[in-house]
Amino acid sequence: MSHPQTHFAQTRFHGPSVLRDRRRTFARVGVKAQLKQLRATGRYDCFDLRWQPVYDEHRVKWPAPAPVFWDSDVAKWLEGACYLLHDAYDPEVDAAVRHVAGLIRGAQHPDGYLNVYFSVVKPGERWTNIRDQHELYNAGHLIEAALAHSRYYKTDFLLRVVERYVRHIRTVIGPGPGQKHAYPGHPEIELALLRLHAATGSEDAYALARYFVEERGNPRGQDGLHFYDWERRQRGDSPWKRPDAYPTADDHWYNQCHAPILEQPTVEGHAVRAMYLLTGVADLLCLDKLGVRAYHDDEDNSNRNDGECRAVTTATTTKAKKDRYFEALTRLWDDMVDKKMYLTGGIGACWGWEGFGRDYFLPAGSDEGGCYNETCASIGVVLLAERLLHLDLDARYADVLELCLYNNVLTGASLDGTAFTYVNQLASSDDQPSRREDWFEVSCCPPNLMRLFGCLGGYLWDYGAGDGNSSGEEDGGSSANAAFVNVHLYTTAVVTFEVGGGEGQGGQTVALEQKSDWPWDGNVSFHLKAPSSVETTIRLRIPGWAKGDYTLSPSPSSTTTTTPTTTTLEKGYLTLPPSYTAAHPSFTLRVGGFAPRHVAPHPYTGQRTLALARGPLVYCAEDADNPWAPPHFRDVLVSAASPVAEEARALRLRVDAARWDCSGKTGDAAVREPGQVEAEVEVEDRYVALRTEAWVRDMSAWRAKRAGAGPGLSVSEGGDGDGVVDGEKKELVLIPYYLRANRGGKGHMRVGLLRK
Amino acid sequence: MSHPQTHFAQTRFHGPSVLRDRRRTFARVGVKAQLKQLRATGRYDCFDLRWQPVYDEHRVKWPAPAPVFWDSDVAKWLEGACYLLHDAYDPEVDAAVRHVAGLIRGAQHPDGYLNVYFSVVKPGERWTNIRDQHELYNAGHLIEAALAHSRYYKTDFLLRVVERYVRHIRTVIGPGPGQKHAYPGHPEIELALLRLHAATGSEDAYALARYFVEERGNPRGQDGLHFYDWERRQRGDSPWKRPDAYPTADDHWYNQCHAPILEQPTVEGHAVRAMYLLTGVADLLCLDKLGVRAYHDDEDNSNRNDGECRAVTTATTTKAKKDRYFEALTRLWDDMVDKKMYLTGGIGACWGWEGFGRDYFLPAGSDEGGCYNETCASIGVVLLAERLLHLDLDARYADVLELCLYNNVLTGASLDGTAFTYVNQLASSDDQPSRREDWFEVSCCPPNLMRLFGCLGGYLWDYGAGDGNSSGEEDGGSSANAAFVNVHLYTTAVVTFEVGGGEGQGGQTVALEQKSDWPWDGNVSFHLKAPSSVETTIRLRIPGWAKGDYTLSPSPSSTTTTTPTTTTLEKGYLTLPPSYTAAHPSFTLRVGGFAPRHVAPHPYTGQRTLALARGPLVYCAEDADNPWAPPHFRDVLVSAASPVAEEARALRLRVDAARWDCSGKTGDAAVREPGQVEAEVEVEDRYVALRTEAWVRDMSAWRAKRAGAGPGLSVSEGGDGDGVVDGEKKELVLIPYYLRANRGGKGHMRVGLLRK
């Protein structure tokens, strides 16, 4: 099992692209802008375990005051920084990473425990509220930070620390009689533990991750009670003392533990938690698929305390259990994608619990009753989709991965990499203008974006030895004469990897280069470099929105070798067999679907709106381009019959050093060499804007008509629509959603406009 | 100041009508069906202060387990029963009222305190959670019960009890240094106290009601804290221990005390609480208008503990303060009616807090994210509208009163009077089928309906001495030679009242009769009987939905008297001056607007739906008439261009005595005389059904088209609507919304259908 976080460095973005440019901005500016925030808020030094005044604020929020998450903020920054240092060395960042890593190591207790809040603020309350207080979540991010640190610095300096911590956790939590039968309220550690296991072979890590997945939602986990109920009683908390984010006091779906994972019919609760949890489950399946580990079904239910569960047959095969988990994964994925996902790839309609609402409840913004779409939640979709593509190569996962990446994720950072959104609505309102912030009290999203972009190369493709098409354990990945690359995302990049060769032995090098102007244009030229002895299979994703419009050049039929060559299209991937790639190491894929198209939300959302899309991008209207528009574009109508014109544009921004210059704040400015500071960074984005016609709904005519008609009623006679007159015709300019809130204005923005 | 609850008996429903028939069903069946439930659940005897097993249920809900409301359930039943006994004597009901009244009187503590839950279950916790535990709410309903009891039985048996209780409350709560500066979490007692004051002159009642209104929302009410925050600290409760109904732990808008009433810009929170509170405020203004009491502005802010407030000028005149309260009332009314009310007069889009959502957030049902529309909330609108009509005779209040009464209120009871709805959605779903229940754990709605229909005659018109048009205190109502009747609702009824004559002296009798087939037909014939010495002014409401289409016969110009007669239409009321009524004691009003019309929710709801209405009635489609329809009519389209046909129908139901025969349950069956039990009651409703054409949306075509288009997307090309094909054409039958869920079926129902 390989993870993007592990193999991203094998991919190099060797030419300009939206993805390369954004990644570079994180490396040049974003990583330091966030470091500046870590320093300004006290997070940077928090692992020194000294008291900070912010801990003392009297209105700390129960159960999770912001410092409860600090460990993860620091860890995620450290993780992302290590990814970015790989090909963009910066002495200031390097020094900061070393400083923080030293503090983390120094903060570990003799017994292995490691957590700032429960060392400094509430030292007596370790593991007393596993549901809400994020100890395991923080531990997960520390593990991921340690893995990134280990890979970049070639040291086990932090790895040893987290291994000790994992051993400690395993003494506290587990199926044993003296242990807490617990699992994290905010999943994340599952996927981190499985990465740790893959990297180090740690059995503790594997066992703990598997325990968390299998124990989750056990209705009688501890002393006959749901673990979280048991835990609450231990604390002596009233059942009516519940966090603000919990819709009601007596359910567990906020944390995805209302039922065991296998029995959950629908995806529910906090969206980020759901995505991280399912990514962990998928990782577990990926590991098993690769033969690293098989389920032992005779252990099934061993930690269930009720007689009934013990009676469950143990005849289920390992395969059947894996199938059941895979079924659960795809069931929950489909439920999410088909009924609970926005046009932009956003998930989480409900502010209250930052999570999923009812089927098709997808209001465009606060004015319509919701829309949260946390940046981290769509990052979670990207993680999950990538894992699912290992289990089931189907473009429906990759289409959603790309949709999220280019829309709800990419919009989470400003073009200059120094400002962020947490919530990503599809329509602004007076309460929620379309704006960014430098930082947040709970600041999960900014470093999450940074670490995703840091290892982004790992998400472009899946590759390795063999033909990549074996479903059983026999595909051990050791085939010396076969290689595969499954291309999920198009951009300009080159991946280089080795096949064959045992442990410690050099293998044969395979390199695949792609060049394109994606997402603006669908022409992608490839060049494969592989020894002639390696039979290379390449699979190219054909996006669903291309509607089958694609061309491969040279065409397979023009192949001049004597063996016949046919490409096959299966589940959205076009397979180029070794016979093709050998004959045509350079080839071009043209993907259609780049003409602007009107899209609409599911009819069951009840929204008769139209949005514009082009390739993988969803567009929005902003007041910066359309100063004539009424507030928040609420009264703007468009028609699918209107022509749409394209306009090539560029946006250039100068990023003042004050936005990210954090020198001198902690005395380590000395690490910076003269001339290393860029006084000003310029960032640029070329993009395609769209122009179409629009109408302004004349509400005054409606008001006059409704007079006396009754509460909220418009009287409709003779089929005149809403009784609203379509007013003046205007030219409407739209830009990619990801680019919103970069050009000033009043923060008025809308994706879906009323359908005329 | 006169209240419908006081003067309803002056109105007699002397011929058949929807209102008369429903009221009669409550008297014949409903009052006993509810008595049966009171007995079956333990409420009937709860004032005996004996322990009941239900108190012991371990999962009692904090902060308000159902028995906390029991006092009010019993009191409301008693109040409604007394109204109904007035003209439909029933020995069993009479005996039960006497039994309960005796228990209530016996339950009073020596100090005047009177509450079942805090006498039996939590005797040590009186007045410790005034926000949530309904002591003042229960007290209010006991006061209303005592007033009804006193009026029917001509005794102060219960009146003395509540007067003592009010005196006790006044010792506990008030502006004094040793008192709680409290006000009810669930308003209701304000309006009850003001009625008590009007009936008995109780100064304690007046002072307490005014204190509740003026103190409410004081940010520093007690020891510098908001009273509810102070109270919580006294209990030692965590600020994070909050009731399930509260959206977040740290605000007060659920209870309408986030700010003083005068400063509240919008109507917020729990809908029933908001309506009862504003009704109390309106009552306060009505009292003052009639000169019974004037505000003493030098007392202003006397109970505010902060120096700033004391600095407020006391130069404000009484009039200015009244104006400010009137402004607040109308501001909140308009906010509600214009932005937060459903087509059916329902209010409260949000389940979480049974209350108001954001502006124009009016989902049709659970599937769309909400819709609560509690029956009691619309009853509250009826109460408030009636009070506002005293302050400002404007048909916009009466239109909403009628809309609520005939739609969201009337639908709350089954045609046979024995089953009820609590929630009144505009579209059913699998979670919330359109069904009724015999009773509820929290059963506020059934007895509330009963008491509203019990005193319904009081809501038809406002009347008295004078011309009814004086805005100042000079209109003392003692004019012997003038009378007025402002007619708000049309039906078949006669009102008889006296004008002139001092205390104890007989006056002159005025009687106005109206006959109509409302709400099916707009022809209303009137007959006035008044001595020639009494100049009678009659004002007739012209509903907004009539769009100005009305005719008065004889026309004013045909008046043969020598003085010229002109009628005037102002704010929706047509004034017939004494010259007209003297010349034409019999006259007819024809109101138009009874042709079926299409109505639609406000465009900002984002719902492109059409509903059918006719006169004051909103219609719905049920599966009972339309078995071909897909689930919950979600895929049914209609067109405003389609013709709509009418069909006269009748629905007859036999109500088995088992539904309401509660004899023998408590041994008082002996009060029933042989032959007094009706073995079976037959109820009937004649109504107009509507027929129109509809189309079934073909989702399979949509699904095929969207394949691969992306999450939840339909691709729209060439303006083909949602990309959904309008399928087969069908005939759609609609019935009045109030009649839904009376004829079996699957409980599929919808008001607003997709607009083709």
pLDDT band of residue A155 (cuts 50, 70, 90) is very high
User: Would the pLDDT of A679 be above 80?
Assistant: no
- Which of A713, A716, A750, A754 is the best mutation test for B, with the most CBs of B within 10 A? A713
The DSSP code for B61 is P
Task: Pull the structure tokens for residue B94.
Answer: 């009479």
- Nearest alpha-carbon partner for A33 in A71, A80, A103: A80
Q: Do A715 and B337 touch (CB under 8 A)?
A: no
- The residue of chain B nearest to residue A599, with distances taken between CA atoms, is B715
Which residues on neighbouring strands pair with residue A69, listed in sequence order? none
Q: Do A697 and B239 touch (CB under 8 A)?
A: no
B contacts of A369 (beta carbons < 8 Å): 349, 357-358, 361, 363, 369-370
Q: In the A/B pair of chains, how many CB contacts fall below 8 A? A: 223
pLDDT band of residue A666 (cuts 50, 70, 90) is very low
- Nearest alpha-carbon partner for A69 in A139, A131, A167, A158: A139
pLDDT value of position B502? 57
Whether the CB of A359 is below 8 Å from some CB of chain B: the reply is yes
User: Would the pLDDT of B165 be above 70?
Assistant: yes
- DSSP of B640-661: TTS--EEEEEEEEEEEEGGGT-
Whether the CB of A306 is below 8 Å from some CB of chain B: the reply is no
User: Would the pLDDT of A378 be above 50?
Assistant: yes
10 Å CB burial of residue A324 (0-12, 13-18, 19+) is: middle
| Mean pLDDT in residue range A621-639 | 96
B636 near B643, Cβ under 8 Å?
Answer: no
List Cβ neighbours of A409 (8 Å cut-off, separation of 6 or more).
Answer: A345, A375, A378, A379, A382, A449, A452
Assembly ipTM: 0.86
| Mean pLDDT in residue range A202-213 | 96
Instruction: Give the Cα separation of A24 and A21 in Å (integer).
Output: 5
Q: Which among A238, A361, A607 has CB closest to B241?
A: A238
Q: Output B198 or A57, whichever has higher pLDDT.
A: B198
Whether the CB of B131 is below 8 Å from some CB of chain A: the reply is no
pLDDT value of position A471? 45
Whether the CB of B631 is below 8 Å from some CB of chain A: the reply is no
pLDDT value of position B322? 84
- Nearest alpha-carbon partner for B345 in B373, B365, B372, B367: B373
Instruction: Give the Cα separation of B7 and B86 in Å (integer).
Output: 12
Q: What percent of chain A has pLDDT over 70?
A: 87
User: Would the pLDDT of A395 be above 80?
Assistant: yes
| A553: helix, strand or coil | strand
Task: Pull the structure tokens for residue A708.
Answer: 């006396």
User: Would the pLDDT of B503 be above 60?
Assistant: no
B389 near B458, Cβ under 8 Å?
Answer: no
Which residues on neighbouring strands pair with residue B680, listed in sequence order? B656
Handedness of CA B677, B74, B371, B271 (dihedral sign): positive
Q: Do A724 and B603 touch (CB under 8 A)?
A: yes
- Both ends of chain B: CA-CA distance in Å? 51
| Mean pLDDT in residue range B372-382 | 98
Least confident of A693-707, B137-151, B360-374, B417-431: A693-707
Least confident of A293-302, A462-471, B98-107, B502-511: A293-302
- The residue of chain B nearest to residue A346, with distances taken between CA atoms, is B711
Instruction: Give the Cα separation of B554 and B535 in Å (integer).
Output: 19
Q: Which among A62, A711, A715 has CB closest to B597?
A: A715
Q: Do A369 and B361 touch (CB under 8 A)?
A: yes
φ/ψ region of A710 (left if φ > 0, alpha if ψ in -120 to 50, else beta) reads: left
Which residues on neighbouring strands pair with residue B755, listed in sequence order? B638
Instruction: Give the Cα separation of B6 and B324 in Å (integer).
Output: 28
A718 phi, psi to nearest 5 deg:
65, 30
Least confident of A39-43, A247-251, A393-397, A438-442: A247-251
pLDDT value of position B678? 58
B contacts of A248 (beta carbons < 8 Å): 244
In angstroms, the separation between the Cα of residue A48 and the nearest Cα of chain B is: 30
pLDDT value of position B707? 66
Instruction: Give the Cα separation of A580 and A574 in Å (integer).
Output: 12
Q: What percent of chain B has pLDDT over 70?
A: 87
pLDDT band of residue A6 (cuts 50, 70, 90) is very high
Whether the CB of B596 is below 8 Å from some CB of chain A: the reply is no
| CA angle (B226 as vertex; B221, B231 as ends), nearest 5 | 100
B contacts of A371 (beta carbons < 8 Å): none
In angstroms, the separation between the Cα of residue A337 and the nearest Cα of chain B is: 5
Q: Do A716 and B601 touch (CB under 8 A)?
A: no
For the beta carbon of residue B595, count every other beta carbon within 10 angstroms: 10
b (16+ CB within 10 A) / e for A551-587: ebeeebeebeeeeebebeeeebbbbbbbbbbbbbeeb
User: Would the pLDDT of B303 be above 80?
Assistant: no
B contacts of A724 (beta carbons < 8 Å): 603
Q: What is the pLDDT of residues B12-23, one digit of tens each?
A: 999 999 999 999
Type of residue numbered A218: N
Strand stretches in B8-62, DSSP E: 11-12
Q: What is the pLDDT of residues B218-275, one digit of tens each?
A: 999 999 999 999 999 999 998 888 888 888 877 899 999 999 999 999 999 999 999 9
In angstroms, the separation between the Cα of residue B604 and the nearest Cα of chain A is: 8
Q: Which among A241, A601, A712 has CB closest to B341?
A: A712
pLDDT value of position B562? 61
Least confident of A158-162, A564-568, B463-467: A564-568
| Mean pLDDT in residue range A294-301 | 39
- Average pLDDT for chain A: 89
For the beta carbon of residue B302, count every other beta carbon within 10 angstroms: 11
Q: Do A712 and B240 touch (CB under 8 A)?
A: no
User: Would the pLDDT of A719 be above 90?
Assistant: no
Q: Do B640 and A352 touch (CB under 8 A)?
A: no
pLDDT band of residue A504 (cuts 50, 70, 90) is low
A contacts of B709 (beta carbons < 8 Å): 544-545, 599
| Mean pLDDT in residue range B472-496 | 79
Least confident of A245-259, A487-501, A542-556, B401-415: A245-259
Q: What is the pLDDT of residues A54-104, one digit of tens each?
A: 898 755 678 888 899 999 999 999 999 999 999 899 999 999 999 999 999
Q: Output A315 or A114, whichever has higher pLDDT.
A: A114
pLDDT band of residue A247 (cuts 50, 70, 90) is confident
Residues 682-741 of B with CB under 8 A from A: 697, 699, 702, 707-724
Could you give the residue ranges of the DSSP H alpha helices within A4-122? 4-7, 18-25, 31-41, 70-85, 91-106, 117-120
The alpha carbon of A378 is separated from its chain's Cα centroid by a whole number of angstroms, namely 4
A269 near A254, Cβ under 8 Å?
Answer: yes
Residues 401-440 of B with CB under 8 A from A: 403
Q: Do A717 and B243 touch (CB under 8 A)?
A: no
pLDDT band of residue A12 (cuts 50, 70, 90) is very high
pLDDT value of position B663? 66
φ/ψ region of A730 (left if φ > 0, alpha if ψ in -120 to 50, else beta) reads: beta
Whether the CB of A569 is below 8 Å from some CB of chain B: the reply is no
A88 near A457, Cβ under 8 Å?
Answer: no
Instruction: Give the Cα separation of B23 and B489 in Å (integer).
Output: 15
Residues 248-267 of A with CB under 8 A from B: 248-249
Q: What percent of chain B has pLDDT over 90?
A: 75
pLDDT band of residue B75 (cuts 50, 70, 90) is very high
**CA distance to A43, A137, A151, A547, per residue, from A73 (Å):** 8, 11, 20, 41
List Cβ neighbours of A180 (8 Å cut-off, separation of 6 or more).
Answer: A127, A130, A172, A173, A174, A222, A227, A231
User: Would the pLDDT of B300 be above 90?
Assistant: no
Instruction: Give the Cα separation of B520 and B415 in Å (integer).
Output: 17
User: Would the pLDDT of B690 be above 70?
Assistant: yes
User: Would the pLDDT of A306 be above 50?
Assistant: no
pTM summary value: 0.91
Which residues on neighbouring strands pair with residue B335, listed in sequence order? none
Q: Which among B244, B403, B634 has CB closest to A711?
A: B403
pLDDT value of position A307? 32
Instruction: Give the Cα separation of B272 and B348 in Å (integer).
Output: 9
A contacts of B249 (beta carbons < 8 Å): 244
The DSSP code for B427 is B
pLDDT value of position B321? 80
Q: Do A342 and B249 touch (CB under 8 A)?
A: no
User: Would the pLDDT of B719 be above 60?
Assistant: no
pLDDT value of position B468? 85
| Mean pLDDT in residue range B706-723 | 60
pLDDT value of position B704? 74
φ/ψ region of B619 (left if φ > 0, alpha if ψ in -120 to 50, else beta) reads: beta
In angstroms, the separation between the Cα of residue B397 and the nearest Cα of chain A is: 10
10 Å CB burial of residue A178 (0-12, 13-18, 19+) is: exposed
Least confident of A136-140, A480-484, B24-28, B274-278: A480-484
Instruction: Give the Cα separation of A751 and A611 in Å (integer).
Output: 6
pLDDT value of position B336? 97
Task: Pull the structure tokens for residue A645.
Answer: 């014109």
| Mean pLDDT in residue range B618-634 | 97
pLDDT band of residue A702 (cuts 50, 70, 90) is confident
The DSSP code for A35 is H
Q: β-strand A636-638 against A753-755: which pairing, if any?
A: parallel
pLDDT band of residue B431 (cuts 50, 70, 90) is very high
User: Would the pLDDT of B296 be above 50?
Assistant: no
In angstroms, the separation between the Cα of residue B426 and the nearest Cα of chain A is: 14
| A748: helix, strand or coil | coil
Q: Output B710 or B325, whichever has higher pLDDT.
A: B325
Q: Do B369 and A367 touch (CB under 8 A)?
A: no
pLDDT value of position B391? 94
Residues 200-239 of B with CB under 8 A from A: 238-239
Q: Do B634 and A720 touch (CB under 8 A)?
A: no
- Nearest alpha-carbon partner for B250 in A328, A501, A58: A58
Q: What is the pLDDT of residues B443-464, one digit of tens each?
A: 999 999 999 999 999 999 999 9
- Average pLDDT for chain B: 89
Task: Pull the structure tokens for residue B445.
Answer: 């709605």
Task: Pull the structure tokens for residue B581.
Answer: 């009524």
Helix, strand, coil proportions of chain A in percent (round to 5)? Answer: 40, 20, 45
User: Would the pLDDT of B669 be above 90?
Assistant: no
pLDDT band of residue B708 (cuts 50, 70, 90) is low
- Nearest alpha-carbon partner for A588 in A600, A574, A599: A574
List Cβ neighbours of A173 (8 Å cut-off, separation of 6 or more).
Answer: A127, A130, A179, A180, A181, A182, A183, A208, A211
pLDDT value of position A469? 72
pLDDT value of position B674? 47
Least confident of A102-111, A336-345, A705-714: A705-714
pLDDT value of position B306? 37
pLDDT band of residue A501 (cuts 50, 70, 90) is low
In angstroms, the separation between the Cα of residue B406 and the nearest Cα of chain A is: 13
- Nearest alpha-carbon partner for B373 in B408, B335, B419: B408
- The residue of chain B nearest to residue A713, with distances taken between CA atoms, is B601
- Nearest alpha-carbon partner for B588 in B646, B510, B517, B531: B517
B34 near B444, Cβ under 8 Å?
Answer: no
Whether the CB of B338 is below 8 Å from some CB of chain A: the reply is yes
